[in-house]
């Protein structure tokens, strides 16, 4: 009998109101049934919104330093359970243990970072133009926040959203991806053990249509924070627009790594392999394009292909595995479709095959795949694939490389390998992306710096860092006039 997991609404664990369930299976071994989860509907969303609304006043009135103490305790609980959560996460979404441990660690880091904001939440005090008058700005919570998270970073991204929302005094409803519901359960269990009051954090499992859309359209959900594809993000934006609902979108990417002729080629090679094939290419910051300065192209590609062929592919639960499976059959089919497109557009150097024999027979495995002679406007160089597929593009010089990198509708992460400090700073200035690495791969964000992108990668908000507080709080300007008389700003003058 499979384990049955539950929603958490208003302090109680409960099944979906209509009694339906969905399966969660290991993508490395589809015979491994992790559990059954509630297939929730609008009625469950309505119950969660009511619970979050009821809990809001009590939570917002708790002093922010006290909210921070609860988050610090939560971080300690996650740290104690890091290995347990990491192993479960690998079972349900496939990436290797080193990466799932890092995913949990990012949640721990976020807890401690957000806890510290409980004693800051900075506003401003500024001079005012009239005598005997005081001016300041303060942050206030927004209300009930709907958090819709993806499967590739089940702990990191959920905590990026949840913990800043909580420290600002909001209550939340978490709708995790249906590929990674068990990780969300572990997060909410830790939230409860830390002592967060009932109704402040609610968990509703289910599909985008069954749970996501009702949550987006609910009039009492004041804010939606979504991470996922640009197409879905645009649909959410059209649904939020009529209500003028606060919306934070972190969407797709078509990230590129530039390698100049003067680069440390060994370092650039390691960066390209990690950026392209870490998490099986299933990161919004994954290196999908490799832009190589022509003088080193042949030398670099020879070593790159040789190393890509040596990547050990298998179950992420095995410590020697370097790359796990794709998350589900649909993602595998997407990768296979784009590889067929790539074969018509470019030159296949390695990979291009599903692995389905032996240890790979029950999973969604695919070889690391590299295409060369890719035109900058080819489909495989323009469209997000979200798999272990790397497109190599030639560049004649730095300006050409930056032009190629910018020639996409996305703008999340970017990278340049060079020993020329002037070239590095020109790249920092001219690259159109929210993140630029110098002599590092396109992946590897840290919680104390803003995360997000430009163009079709989002709508201008940032996650992580102190900048995320602007998403989850409202600014209020406060004027205190202690003159005892009516004073008119911009009209009365100081004598």
Specify whether the backbone of 171 is left (phi greater than 0), alpha (psi in -120 to 50) or beta: beta
Which tens digit of pLDDT belongs to each residue from 117-131?
999 999 999 999 999
Sign of CA dihedral 221, 223, 227, 230: positive
In this prediction, residues 389-396 reach a mean pLDDT of: 98
Rounded to the nearest integer, the mean pLDDT of the chain is: 97
Q: How far is CA 278 from the centre of its chain?
A: 15
Which tens digit of pLDDT belongs to each residue from 208-256?
999 999 999 999 999 999 999 999 999 999 999 999 999 999 999 999 9
Do 371 and 392 meet the contact criterion of CB atoms below 8 Å apart? yes
The helix (H) or strand (E) run that includes residue 37 is strand 29-38
Which tens digit of pLDDT belongs to each residue from 162-187?
999 999 999 999 999 999 999 999 99
Tokens of 312: 């050990």
Q: At what angle do helices 82-93 and 64-80 cross, to 10 degrees?
A: 70
Is pLDDT of 2 > 90?
A: no
Tokens of 269: 């090679």
Share of the chain above pLDDT 90, in %: 99
In this prediction, residues 141-158 reach a mean pLDDT of: 98
Specify the pLDDT at position 412: 98
**What's this model's pTM, rounded to 2 decimal places?**
0.97
Which tens digit of pLDDT belongs to each residue from 332-364?
999 999 999 999 999 999 999 999 999 999 999
């957000």: which residue's tokens?
114
Fold agreement (7-251+458-477, 255-438): no
Tokens of 358: 């032996």
CA-CA-CA-CA torsion for 64, 212, 468, 258, nearest 10 degrees? Answer: 150
Specify the pLDDT at position 387: 98
Active site amino acids:
250, 284
Work out the number of other CB atoms within 10 angstroms of the CB of residue 79: 16
Is pLDDT of 6 > 60?
A: yes
Provide the pLDDT confidence category of residue 1 given band limits of 50, 70 and 90: confident
Is pLDDT of 369 > 80?
A: yes
User: Residue 293, SS3?
Assistant: strand
Work out the number of other CB atoms within 10 angstroms of the CB of residue 90: 26
Report d(CA 261, CA 258) in Å as an integer. 10
User: Residue 172, SS3?
Assistant: strand
Fold (topology level) of 255-438: Aldehyde Dehydrogenase; Chain A, domain 2 (3.40.309)
Specify the pLDDT at position 494: 55
Least confident among 113-117, 131-135, 268-272, 490-494? 490-494
Q: How far is CA 394 from the centre of its chain?
A: 30
pLDDT greater at residue 130 or residue 2: 130
Fold (topology level) of 7-251+458-477: Aldehyde Dehydrogenase; Chain A, domain 1 (3.40.605)
- Show the 3-state SS of 367-428: CCEEEECCCCCCHHHHCCCCCCEEEEEEECCHHHHHHHHHCCCCCCEEEEECCCHHHHHHHH
Is pLDDT of 495 > 70?
A: no
Query: What ranges do the domains of the chain cover?
Result: 7-251+458-477, 255-438
Closest C-alpha to 332, from 254, 372, 386, 288: 386
DSSP assignments along 215-261, one per residue:
HHH-TTEEEEEEES-HHHHHHHHHHHGGGT-EEEEE----EEEEE-T
Instruction: Show Cβ contacts of residue 434 under 8 Å, excluding neighbours closer than 6 positions.
Output: 411, 412, 413, 450, 451, 452, 453, 454, 457, 458, 462
Work out the number of other CB atoms within 10 angstroms of the CB of residue 375: 15
Max CA distance (Å), the chain: 88
Do 413 and 275 meet the contact criterion of CB atoms below 8 Å apart? no
Report d(CA 424, CA 296) in Å as an integer. 18
Which tens digit of pLDDT belongs to each residue from 268-323?
999 999 999 999 999 999 999 999 999 999 999 999 999 999 999 999 999 999 99
Closest C-alpha to 180, from 249, 105, 94: 94
Burial-class residue 191 by CB neighbours within 10 Å (0-12, 13-18, 19+). buried
């Amino acid at each position: 009998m499979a384990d049955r997991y539950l929603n958490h609404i208003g302090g109680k664990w409960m099944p979906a109101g209509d009694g339906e369930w969905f399966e969660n299976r290991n993508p490395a071994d589809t015979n491994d049934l992790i559990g059954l989860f509630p297939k929730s509907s609008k009625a469950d969303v309505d119950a969660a919104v009511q619970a979050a609304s009821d809990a809001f006043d009590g939570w917002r009135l708790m002093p922010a330093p006290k909210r921070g103490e609860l988050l610090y305790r939560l971080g300690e609980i996650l740290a104690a359970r890091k290995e347990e959560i990491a192993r479960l996460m690998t079972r349900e979404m496939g990436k290797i243990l080193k990466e799932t441990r890092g995913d949990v660690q990012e949640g721990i880091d976020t807890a401690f970072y957000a806890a510290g904001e409980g004693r800051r939440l900075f506003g401003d005090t500024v001079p005012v133009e009239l005598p005997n008058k005081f001016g300041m700005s303060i942050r206030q919570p927004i209300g009930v926040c709907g958090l819709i998270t993806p499967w590739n970073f089940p702990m990191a991204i959920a905590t990026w959203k949840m913990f800043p929302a909580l420290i600002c005094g909001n209550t939340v409803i978490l709708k995790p991806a249906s590929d990674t519901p068990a990780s969300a359960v572990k997060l909410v269990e830790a939230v409860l053990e830390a002592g967060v009051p009932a109704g402040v954090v609610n968990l509703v499992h289910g599909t985008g249509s069954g749970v996501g859309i009702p949550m987006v359209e609910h009039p009492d959900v004041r804010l939606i924070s979504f991470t996922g594809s640009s197409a879905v993000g645009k649909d959410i934006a059209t649904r939020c627009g009529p209500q003028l609902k606060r919306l934070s979108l972190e969407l797709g990417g078509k990230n590129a790594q530039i390698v100049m002729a003067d680069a440390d080629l060994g370092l650039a090679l390691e960066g390209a392999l990690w950026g392209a094939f870490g998490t099986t290419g299933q990161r919004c910051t994954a290196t999908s394009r490799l832009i190589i300065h022509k003088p080193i192209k042949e030398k670099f590609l020879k070593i790159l292909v040789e190393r890509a062929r040596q990547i050990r592919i298998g179950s992420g639960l095995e410590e020697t595995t370097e790359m796990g499976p794709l998350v589900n059959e649909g993602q595998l089919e997407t990768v296979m479709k784009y590889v067929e497109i790539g074969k018509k557009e470019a030159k296949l150097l390695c990979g291009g095959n599903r692995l389905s024999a032996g240890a790979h027979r029950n999973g969604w495995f695919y070889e690391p795949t590299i295409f060369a002679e890719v035109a900058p406007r080819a489909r495989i160089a323009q469209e997000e694939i979200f798999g272990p597929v790397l497109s190599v593009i030639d560049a004649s010089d730095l300006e050409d490389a930056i032009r190629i990198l910018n020639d996409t509708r996305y703008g999340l992460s970017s990278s340049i390998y060079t020993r020329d400090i002037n070239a590095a700073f020109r790249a920092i200035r001219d690259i159109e992306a929210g993140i630029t690495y110098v002599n590092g791969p396109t992946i590897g964000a840290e919680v104390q710096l803003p995360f997000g992108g430009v163009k079709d990668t989002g709508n201008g908000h940032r996650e992580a860092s102190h900048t995320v507080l602007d998403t989850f709080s409202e600014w209020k300007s406060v004027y205190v006039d202690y003159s005892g008389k009516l004073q008119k700003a911009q009209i009365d003058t100081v004598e």
